[in-house]
Amino acid sequence: HAAIAQLLEKRFEPDDIHMANLLAHHWQQAENAGRAVHYLGLAGEVAFANYANSEAVNFLSQALALDARQGFICRTEQRAAWELILGQASVLWTRYEDGRLHLEEGLRLLGQPIPAGDSQSRTLFQVLRAFMQQNRNRLRPDKIQKTDDEVERKSLIAASQASSRLVEVFYHAGEPLKATYLAFHALNMAEKAGDSPELAEAYAPMGSFYSFMQLHRVARRYFARALTLARQLRQSSALAYCLVVVITYESGLGHWAQARMLARRLDRLSQQSQISRRRLDAAQLASLLYCLQHMSAACLLKGDQIVTRAQRLDDRRFEGYGHFALAYGHFLEGDLAKCALALAALEPLLPGGQEAVLDTHLAHNGFGLKTLCELRQGNLTQARKAAAEAERYQGGAYQVSYYTLPGYVGPVELFLTLWQGGRGDVAELKRQAQKALQALRFYALTFPIGRPAFNLYQGWYHQLCGNQNRATRHWQRGLKQAEALKMPYEAAFIRELWGGSLGRGSATGRSYLLEAASAYKELGVWYELKRVQLRLKDGATG
C-alpha cells in the first residue's frame, strides 16, 4: 500500500478529490496515519471549495476522527481550519446542529470563542455592545482598527465567516437574539480585516436587522454595500448569499416583482457557478412568493422541483420546504386529500418526527397549514392540536421571518371559524382568537404583507363581537392594503366577509360577494369559490 501511495503521489493533482481519497485509503492501509489525515483533509477542502458540501463533511469528519484517534497529530491551527470548514459545509447542507458544534469548536481552537450567552439578558447586553461598536464604525469609519498582520487578518476572516454561518443556525433554531449578536460580531470582525467576500456577506444580515427595526433607509444602505462589494470582488458565493438576504427583504415588503426578478438572478448565478445550495435557496424563496400570492399552479411546480433537487442532494430541510409548497398548492386548489398527503410527507421532518430538521419557521408554517387543512376536513380535534403546535413557534414583538404568515393565519382562522359556528365555549374561543390576533399583529407591524390578513381577521373578530362599525373600519383598511400590495386573495376574502355581514337583500353586500367570487375563480381557489357561491345562493349573512 505504501508503494502504491508513493506512485500515486507522483501523479497527484491538488484539486483531484478522488485521487486524494484513494491516497488516504492506501496510507491508512500502510498505517501512515499522518499522510492519511493529510489527504482526507485535502479532499475535504477541495470538495468544499467546489460547493460539494456532503462530500466535504464526509472527508473532513474522517480526517478529524482519525487525527483524534492518533492523539491529535495535526497542529491546532490545522484542526481549527478543518473544524470551521466542516461546520460551514454542515450548515450549507442544512445539518444545523452538527454545523453549530463544529463551528464553535473551530472558533475555540482559533482562540475566538463565541461569548457565552446563557440568558436572554446577557445575550441582549452582548447585542447592545456589538451594536454600539458597529454604530461607531459607521460614524467614524476612519477609526476602525484594521490589522496589518496577515496572520491576524486570516484569523479575523475565518472567525467572521464562521459567525455568519452561525447566524443562519440560530435564525432557524428560533433564537433571533443570538443570531443578531453574531451578525454584528461577524461584521465588526470582518471590518477589521478589510475588504473580503466575508465582509460582503457580513453586511447583508445588518440590512435585515435594521429592516426589522423599520429603519429601511439604513437597511438599504447595508444591502447596497453587500452587493457592491461582492460584485467588485467578483465572488459568486458571497453575491449569491447577499441575494438570498435581499430577496427575503423585498418579499416581506410585498415587492413581488423585484423579489421574483432577484430570485431568477440568484438561480442563474447559482447554476453558472454550480452552487447547488443557493439554487435550492432560489427555488425555496420563489415557492414562498407563490404561496403568499396564492398562485397554486406555480406552488405545485416549484414544490416538485425542490423535492427532486433536495432528494438528489440528500437535503432534508429543503425537501421539507418542497413538501410544504406542494401541500399549499393543493390546499389552494381545494384538493384537501392531496394536501393531507403532502403534509404527511412533511410530518417526519417537523419537531417530534423521526427525521426532524432544525427549522422553527418550517415547523410554524407546517402546523399552521395543517390547522387549516384539518379544519376544512372537519377534523376539529386534529385542527386544535395543530394550532397549539403552530402557536409554540410564534414570535413576539421581535419578528424575523416574513414567510411564516401561514403559521399565524392557521390558528386565527380556526378560532374565529369555531366561534362563528358555535362549536365550543364562546368565551374561551374569544380569548384564543384574541391571543392569536395579537401574535398576527406583531408579525404585521414588522412585515407589511401581514397587514391585510391582520385587518381581515380583526374585522371578523369585531363582527362576531357585534361591532359592525369597527369591523367595517378594519375591512376598509385591509382592502386598501391588499390592493396596494397586490394580494388578491386577502382582498377577495375581505369582500366575502364584508358582503356577508351586510345582511339579506343588501345590494352592496351582493356586489361584494360577486366580486369575491370573481377573484376566487381567477385565482383558482375552488373551496373559497364554492363557499361564496353558497352565500350568494342562500342570501346568507355573517
The ranges assigned to domains in the chain are 195-293, 475-542
pLDDT at residue 11 greater than cutoff 90: no
Instruction: List the helix and strand counts (H, then E) for the chain.
Output: 26, 0
Mapped onto helix, strand or coil, the DSSP state of residue 213 is: coil
Determine which of 433-437, 501-505, 527-531 has the lowest per-residue pLDDT on average: 501-505
Q: Among 4-8, 328-332, 396-400, which is the least confidently predicted range? A: 4-8
Q: Considering only CA atoms, which of 379, 273, 373, 280 is closest in space to residue 320? A: 280
CB 377 within 8 A of CB 336: yes
What are 360's three cell numbers? 422553527
Quick one: average pLDDT of 131-155?
93
Average pLDDT over residues 87-92: 98
What pLDDT score does 541 carry? 47
Statement: residue 116 has pLDDT above 90: no
The answer to whether residue 445 scores a pLDDT higher than 80 is yes
Instruction: Please report, rounded to a whole number, the percentage of residues in the chain having pLDDT higher than 70.
Output: 99
Q: How far apart, in whole angstroms, are the C-alpha atoms of residue 81 and residue 100?
A: 15
pLDDT of residue 443: 98
**For the chain, what is the mean pLDDT?**
95
Residue 115 has pLDDT above 90, yes or no: no
Tell me what pLDDT residue 396 has: 87
**105: pLDDT strictly greater than 60:** yes
pLDDT tens digits, 472-483: 999 999 999 999
Q: What is the dihedral of CA 324, 454, 474, 372, to 10 degrees?
A: 40
Centroid of chain to Cα 260: 16
Q: Quote the pLDDT of residue 122.
A: 87
pLDDT 10s digits, 43-77: 999 999 999 999 999 999 999 999 999 999 999 99
Question: Given a cut of 90, is residue 505 above it in pLDDT?
Answer: no
How many residues does the structure list for the chain? 542
Residue 466, SS3 per DSSP: coil
Res. 170: pLDDT tops 70? yes
Predicted confidence band of residue 1 (pLDDT cuts 50, 70, 90): low
Nearest-angstrom CA–CA distance, 527 and 128:
49
pTM over 0.85: yes
- Say whether pLDDT at 542 is over 60: no
| Ranges 26-40, 162-176, 342-356: which has the least confidence | 26-40
Residue 97 CB burial class (10 angstroms; 0-12, 13-18, ≥19): exposed
> May I ask the CATH class of domain 195-293?
mainly alpha
Q: Which is higher by pLDDT, 477 or 29?
A: 477
| Alpha-carbon gap, residue 242 to 250, rounded angstroms | 12
Return the pLDDT at 63: 97
Question: Pseudo-torsion of CA 413, 416, 419, 423, nearest 10°?
Answer: 0
- Give per-residue pLDDT as tens, 293-346: 999 999 999 999 999 999 999 999 999 999 999 999 999 999 999 999 999 999
pLDDT tens track for 214-264: 999 999 999 999 999 999 999 999 999 999 999 999 999 999 999 999 999
**What local confidence, expressed as pLDDT, does residue 345 receive?**
99
Amino acid 28: pLDDT: 84
Whether pLDDT at 3 is above 80 = no
**Mean pLDDT (whole number) for 441-461:** 98
* Residue that wins the pLDDT comparison between 392 and 23: 392
